[in-house]
Amino acid sequence: MSLLSIQNVVKRYQQHTALSGVSLEVPQGKIFGLLGPNGAGKTSLIRIINQITMPDEGQILLQGKPLKAEDVHRIGYLPEERGLYKKMKIGEQALYLARLKGLSRAEANKRIKIWFEKFELQPWWNKKVEELSKGMQQKVQFICAVLHEPELIILDEPFSGFDPINAEMLKQEILGMKNRGATIIFSTHRMESVEELCDHVALIDKSKVVLNGATRDIKKQFSTNTFRLGFDGILPTLPAGFDLISERAGHDWQEARIQLNNGSSNELLLQLLPHLKIHAFEEEVPSFNEIFIRTVKNAQA
């Protein structure tokens, strides 16, 4: 079931087409990776979802109904370009933004205190934004985006400015929100984060969707059917359907790369086990970084 349905959306800026007939389904309760090179159209789409701008053609449905101005209260948005008021104290700022999202003063204060304690911001309550490090500003911005517990959360480069410890903490918070039922659109250039977090991804390039699907299905689509074998012994001649790509001495044992053309991995193991002591056997699965680069290059060819 889709929480958000993007249907044939077109967005033009004078002579430039930022989005050209973009259609996507964002599954409810999942983390949806929105990927693409700089200038591909991701930010234009995010702004339309947030109703900062409107599409020239097409429509967006939220739970099957056209997106309306009042639906902004159901959305939390962490923009790539941070929008905090630098001269304002962070506690006052969080309270102000929470009130804009419809929370009462009492409920807003209660939630802010919980989040500030969790992110170790309580001692900084009366500090101005400009007095904080980039990472601490990012924490405040994230809290302000999710404080009203929105159904749809849009995170644009959420790990920017974070060290590995705080990045891991934020990752766990994102997974926790997903487990509590939130739908998350996650835009990033960090492909390792896509590997770790996303259930579904869409890749936009030059205003068009060039890749779209469940993460596991895309991995399978780009599979090379190449396996890495670690072993002791002498590698026998491989039967028909299997090709030896390379063989070399590794640190602890021999290593080989084998291409499966017609046979299965189980058949290969049955052929090898009587002859070798096998230490490792795994498929070479392309990373999302490799998939991203290959897809964009193919789309631009």
Q: What is the pLDDT of residue 83?
A: 76
Question: For residue 108, what are the contacts with CB-CB under 8 A and spacing of at least 6?
Answer: 94, 95, 98, 99, 147
Q: What is the DSSP track for 106-151?
A: HHHHHHHHHHHHHTT-GGGTTSBGGGS-HHHHHHHHHHHHHTT--S
* Co-location of 154 and 214 in the same domain: yes
Q: What is the pLDDT of residue 252?
A: 86
Q: What is the pLDDT of residue 266?
A: 92
At 141-166, the pLDDT tens digits run 999 999 999 999 999 999 988 899 99
* Co-location of 58 and 172 in the same domain: yes
Domain that holds residue 270: 224-284
At 160-183, the pLDDT tens digits run 888 999 999 999 999 999 999 999
Which of residues 198, 220, 242 is at a domain's end? 220
* Co-location of 235 and 164 in the same domain: no
Q: Give first-to-last CA distance, the chain, whole Å.
A: 35
Q: Is 38 inside any structural domain? A: yes
Q: Is 184 inside any structural domain? A: yes
* Burial letters 194-222, b for 16+ CB under 10 A, else e: beebbbbbbbbbbbbbbbbeebeebbeeb
Global pTM reads 0.88
* Co-location of 277 and 164 in the same domain: no
The pLDDT averaged over each successive group of 10 residues in the chain (301 residues) is 95 93 97 93 94 94 93 92 86 93 93 94 92 91 95 94 91 96 94 93 94 93 91 91 91 92 88 93 91 86 64
Q: Is 263 inside any structural domain? A: yes
* Burial letters 271-284, b for 16+ CB under 10 A, else e: bbeeebeeeeeeee
Q: Count the Cβ atoms, other than its own, within 10 Å of residue 132.
A: 18
Q: Is 260 inside any structural domain? A: yes
* Co-location of 280 and 243 in the same domain: yes
Q: Count the Cβ atoms, other than its own, within 10 Å of residue 54.
A: 10
Q: Number of structural domains, the chain?
A: 2
* Co-location of 276 and 155 in the same domain: no
* Co-location of 178 and 238 in the same domain: no
Which of residues 220, 236, 268 is at a domain's end? 220
* Co-location of 161 and 272 in the same domain: no
Q: What is the pLDDT of residue 301?
A: 64
* Co-location of 157 and 230 in the same domain: no
The CATH number covering residue 185 comes to 3.40.50.300
* Co-location of 186 and 39 in the same domain: yes
* Co-location of 211 and 265 in the same domain: no
Q: What is the dihedral of CA 134, 135, 136, 138, to 10 degrees?
A: 90
Q: What is the pLDDT of residue 33?
A: 97
Q: What is the pLDDT of residue 119?
A: 93
SS3 labels along 284-299: CCCCHHHHHHHHHHHH
Q: What is the pLDDT of residue 263?
A: 78
* Co-location of 167 and 231 in the same domain: no
